[in-house]
Structure 1
Amino acid sequence: MAIDTTSRDSNLPLIDVIAAEVRRHGVEPVLVPNEDGSKANLIATFPAADGSTHGGIVLSGHTDVVPVDGQDWSSAPFEPEIRDGRLYGRGACDMKGFVGAVVARIPDIAAQPLREPLHLAFSYDEEIGCLGAESLVKDMVGRELRPRACIVGEPTSMRVIHGHKSINLFRVEFHGVAAHSSLTPRGVNAIEYAAAFARFVRGVAEEFRDEGPYDDAFDVPYTTCTVNLIEGGIAVNTVPAACTLHFEFRSIAAVDSHALVDRFRSELHRLEGEMQAENPEARIDLRVVASAPGLDTAEDSEVVRLATEWGGTASGEKVAYGTEAGLFDQGGIPTVVCGPGDIAQAHSPDEFVDLDQLVRCEAFLDRVLAHLRL
């Protein structure tokens, strides 16, 4: 089956397929839609033999994928193809390999009585900022499901990952005043002020690099900050009235992300004052595009032990990329990241997952079910 769930489009065709399979096995899923109803999260709880829906284990994954625009593929990106011991296709690694393996086990989940419930949690729009998982976790918390462990099946080569950095994405709009470039005192140059802020972001990044704090479990052991997109100006002889800048930071647990946001806001307020000293009509607008908390699960926690017993490779590692695991953790659900495939293949042309990784994932899921059965 091939379903294109690129984030800019709806994920409902896939959610409908999963919902139908869940219903076929006697469980009514909970659908949590986005504001316009074009996308939805799905939560399916297979209750324990005594009817209980509280506690148990969560298996979680996101249903969306990144675009293939401008990428050169050797095969149709939205048609699965197996060759040379690999499954190729957009999302094969990130993360439909895991989602597919879980859905394929729904008949097994429903076939035998469970001593604890098993929850399936599939989200939308992870790739553009973990947008769907926030309402998904809120629903689970609101219904007091209180799972004791969650596995987020992002590609880790089946290593048990107990931590990752936060994700914080921002859009800053600098509104200056246009003027002919021969009359610069009459204008306020939005690009120049954006450039000043970009240099400030770089300075903060250098401070974290040189002074820490550090966490050596990460391959990049400190908080990173970077300006990744900037657009402005209309002509070479016009003082630019508008410039838009996008920046991000990814923080380790030792850094207060709220305090860091305040630091960036304070600098923007200072720059806005300078702009308005030139012309009171100038201003700066900051918008938070996406924000997802980091994950910092203790290495000796039950969820780490369980994931290792089920076949995940003990690693003691944390990763720089973000996932929805931090949102589950923030909701009081102990969480690790463990899934098939190498993150190096995610988002790339000819994305693939090795078949032996899927075999390991299937064995992992079988052990989860064995652990839950009466």
Structure 2
Amino acid sequence: MTRTLEILDRLIAFPTVSADSNLAMVAFIESVLEAAGAKVHRIGDATGAKAGLFARIGPDDRAGVMLSGHTDVVPVAGQAWSADPFRLRADGTRLYGRGTTDMKGYLACMLAAAERAARMPLAEPLKLAFSWDEEVGCLGIPQMLPSLDATIGKPQLCIVGEPTSMRIALGHKGKVALRATCHGMAGHSSMAPDFLNAIHLAADFVAGLRRLQADLATTGARDAGYDIPYATVHAGRISGGTALNIVPDRAVVDFEYRYPANQPTGEIENALTALTDAVAALYRDVFPDARVEIEVVNAYPGLGMPPDHPAVALMQSLMPGAGMTKVAFGTEAGHFHAAGVPVLVCGPGSMEQGHKPDEYIEASELARCDAMCDRLLDHLCGRA
């Protein structure tokens, strides 16, 4: 595991918070892969400040298996770290640093595996994907996937290495983030009943979201693989008004819904459309311009791999004895799945340690991931 730790030390030193550029780290990853003889394809975003990579080692006419991870990390601002978060620190069996669990530990295993693959007689290729801006809504990978066929080709299995304690995750919920803008009529608060308070519309809208949540909890599709087995609706932020003595003419509600793969999203969308109409109708007799407008801010699809899929059997051969699970958090696996790529989630560490001050990963988790990669390389050589 020495090489994995050497690479992890380098990766942690890149402060690739999603708000900042990841290009320095991408250049380092490129250099490691090119030194290993990989065919590397860089895909940049529209700003030129972010980029991702597709890479292949081995035959170019076979499907092979892909390892996939994101380069960005969540911020450290406002968190009480006991040491520099962008310097890898060992303390006993634990390795501390921002991204050790989510998910530079996995990236280090990917790169160390690529170097080993370069010295092996691969009958099937090892493919790798490194994306950007996963932490702010899986923004990078959907920009990269249209280039997959033209660069390295679709694999027979993609392993997205989000932290699952090396369990095999067959699914996660999809997510849609939305914004509801409520339009009222402004005026002086001394005559408040003569005007339409947009915050009142927002309050009625949030009450409707709560009713929708109650309906989904009792009549929506269910998946027992999740701790909360039904779709959830959550209002996370509300804003409106400029001064206490002004009736606000605009209020905004930021909300989301998360859904298991077997939940028809059209039912939720129809319910939200009906809710906006119902809220506005409460006021339109007096205020004809009353309205609530909804826009989608961000979305990523869910994942629901059937347990009898051949990719699951292959994954079980790479992680013998590993349990199967579904995870509460979203991943890029949903985008791979939507693009027709068989995909599972399995990676070192636990999300219990992710996104927190003094984030860490147990060294034993990296060792288990390295062992999985060794079995994968044997498989790609036709030995297993």
TM bracket, shorter-chain basis: over 0.9
Question: Is residue 371 of structure 2 the alignment partner of residue 363 of structure 1?
Answer: yes
CA distance in 1, matches of 2:35, 2:149: 26
| Aligned partner letter, 2:43 | V
Contact 2:42 2:53 in 1 (8 A): yes
Distance change >3 Å, CA 331–CA 174, structure 1 → 2: same
Contact 1:63 1:123 in 2 (8 A): yes
1:104 alignment counterpart: 112
Instruction: State the secondary structure of the residue aligned to 2:369.
Output: helix
Question: Is residue 109 of structure 2 the alignment partner of residue 95 of structure 1?
Answer: no
1:46 alignment counterpart: 57
1:24 alignment counterpart: 35
CA RMSD for the aligned pairs? Answer: 1.9
CA distance in 2, matches of 1:261, 1:307: 35
Alpha-carbon shift at residue 232 of structure 1 (Å): 1.6
| Aligned partner letter, 1:102 | M
Is the deviation greater in 352-361 or in 268-277?
268-277
1:301 alignment counterpart: 309
Alpha-carbon shift at residue 281 of structure 1 (Å): 4.9
CA distance in 2, matches of 1:142, 1:194: 47
**What residue ranges of structure 2 are gaps of 5+ in the alignment?**
1-9
Alpha-carbon shift at residue 320 of structure 1 (Å): 1.7
Distance change >3 Å, CA 312–CA 267, structure 1 → 2: farther
| Aligned partner letter, 2:212 | V
- The partner residue of 2:201 within 178, 186, 193 is 193
Instruction: State the secondary structure of the residue aligned to 1:196.
Output: helix
Contact 1:176 1:275 in 2 (8 A): no
| Aligned partner letter, 2:158 | C
Q: Deviations over 1:154-184 (max 9, x none)?
A: 0000000101111111122223222111112
Is the deviation greater in 12-21 or in 153-162?
12-21
Question: Is residue 66 of structure 2 the alignment partner of residue 63 of structure 1?
Answer: no
- The partner residue of 1:165 within 160, 170, 173 is 173
Instruction: State the secondary structure of the residue aligned to 2:352.
Output: helix
Alpha-carbon shift at residue 28 of structure 1 (Å): 3.5
Alignment of 1:95-244 (within 5 A): 95-141=103-149, 145-244=153-252
**What residue ranges of structure 1 are gaps of 5+ in the alignment?**
none
Instruction: State the secondary structure of the residue aligned to 2:216.
Output: helix
Is the deviation greater in 57-66 or in 77-86?
77-86
Alpha-carbon shift at residue 195 of structure 1 (Å): 1.3
CA distance in 1, matches of 2:274, 2:297: 18
Length-normalised TM-score, structure 1: 0.94
Instruction: State the secondary structure of the residue aligned to 1:173.
Output: strand
Contact 1:57 1:147 in 2 (8 A): yes
Is the deviation greater in 270-279 or in 241-250?
270-279
How many residues in Structure 1 have an aligned counterpart in Structure 2? Answer: 371
Length-normalised TM-score, structure 2: 0.91
Instruction: State the secondary structure of the residue aligned to 1:129.
Output: coil
Alignment of 1:251-330 (within 5 A): 251-272=259-280, 274=282, 277-311=285-319, 313-330=321-338
CA distance in 1, matches of 2:373, 2:293: 47
Distance change >3 Å, CA 281–CA 213, structure 1 → 2: closer
Contact 2:177 2:257 in 1 (8 A): yes
